[in-house]
Copies of this chain bind each other. A is one copy, B any other.
């Protein structure tokens, strides 16, 4: 059983994930509308939709919505930001799967975009999803774009370290990669929720730290599932729990933490 299996989640988290998926998929469906004509332009948007609307947990957009509520906002105010984060996440998957990168044939149980379409279309579809992510973030605010861009740069650094075959020899080295590859986009998700709620700088910074903590815990859980970095496994398991406690402490200082506490517990295995 996966350590981050939605079926193992507490009821409030299950409901959050289900509601977030419905809302963000509707939002992405609206934003990624296929142009008439059926030519190459339509095919490109089909490839973008294939990637973004694929089955998945939608944990990042769920975090955007939950963080917005925790900062005192309404979920509907965070829908553009939630779609931005999920489209950005999708773009990273499409490009990471390319033959020159991880060369994966399957993603989320289906052929990867370059398998289902072709390699050139996969490159352009990823570019298109990244572009659509920034277009959506711009509807929130320039600050949302700045946060998304800064965190997206961290993700690229993490991917470059990963591709270079950097073998972490200590937990600190491993965590550097986890923070960049996974933590950064969770941090962006939580902070964008705060920005969408119109929260102040302090709450937004706390949300970003919360997101970084659970994103890093999420990646440790993923490693444990996959048997990666086995030499560091027991340290990693302890660190995952520590990050969960850290996230909960941060969430408790927010106006109305709500589901963020349960989310942190679930992701960190507490």
- Interface residues, chain A, CB within 8 Å of chain B? 35, 39-41, 43-44, 91, 95, 98, 100-101, 118-124, 126-128, 130-132, 134-135, 137-143, 145-146, 148-150, 152-153, 156-157, 159-161, 163-164, 166
Contacts and interface: CB of A to CB of B under 8 A. Distances in A.
Interface centre among A41, A122, A130, A140 (most CB of B within 10 A): A41
7 contacts: A39-B161, A100-B118, A101-B123, A124-B156, A128-B156, A134-B149, A135-B153
A58 to B, nearest CB: 22
Given A120-B163, A123-B98, A138 B145 contact: yes
Contacts of A160: 40-41, 43-44, 121, 124
Contacts of A149: 131-132, 134-135, 138
Count copies of this chain in the complex. Answer: 2
Contact of A41 (B91, B123, B128, B157): B157
Given A131-B152, A137-B145, A149-B134, A40 B163 contact: yes
A195 to B, nearest CB: 12
B157 A135 contact: no
A112 to B, nearest CB: 13
Nearest to A44: B160
A152 to B, nearest CB: 5
A145 B143 CA distance: 11
A130 B145 CA distance: 13
Nearest to A41: B157
A43 B44 CA distance: 31
Contacts of A122: 100
Nearest to A88: B131
Contacts of A142: 138-142, 145
Given A95-B127, A123-B123, A132-B153, 20 more contacts: A40-B163, A41-B161, A43-B160, A43-B164, A44-B156, A91-B127, A95-B124, A98-B123, A100-B123, A101-B123, A120-B163, A121-B160, A124-B156, A130-B130, A131-B153, A134-B134, A134-B145, A135-B145, A138-B149, A145-B145
Contacts of A119: 100
B134 A156 contact: no
Contacts of A164: 39-40, 43
A35 B180 CA distance: 14
B156 A146 contact: no
A128 B121 CA distance: 19
A135 to B, nearest CB: 4
Given A127-B95, A149-B134, A156-B131, A161 B40 contact: yes
